[in-house]
Structure 1
Amino acid sequence: MAKIVSAMEARKGFGDLLNQVALKGEDVVIERAGKPLAKLTSVSDSGPQKLDFRDISRLPGEIWE
Structure 2
Amino acid sequence: MKVISVMKVRQSLGQILDEVNLKSETFILERAGKPIAKIIPMNSEGPQGNLSLNLKALRDLKGLNPQSERSSDPSEWLDKERGEWE
Aligned residues: CA RMSD: 1.0
The amino acid across from 2:32 in the alignment is: A
Number of aligned positions between the proteins: 45
Tell me, yes or no, if structure 1 residue 4 matches structure 2 residue 3.
Answer: yes
The amino acid across from 2:9 in the alignment is: A
The two structures have a TM-score, normalised by structure 1, of 0.65
What's the offset of the Cα at 1:30?
0.5
More strand by share: 1
Q: Which has the higher contact order (CA 8 A, sep 6+)?
A: 1
SS in 2 for 1:9: helix
Aligned to 1:15: 14
More helix by share: 2
Provide the C-alpha distance between the structure 2 equivalents of 1:12 and 1:37, rounded to a whole number of angstroms. Answer: 18
Aligned to 2:60: none
What's the offset of the Cα at 1:31?
0.2
Unaligned runs of 5+ residues in structure 2 are 44-48, 54-86
Provide the C-alpha distance between the structure 1 equivalents of 2:35 and 2:26, rounded to a whole number of angstroms. Answer: 13
Unaligned runs of 5+ residues in structure 1 are 47-65
List per-residue Cα deviations over 1:4-26 (Å, max 9, x = no partner): 11000011110000001000011
Q: Identity of paired residues, percent? A: 40
Aligned to 1:28: 27
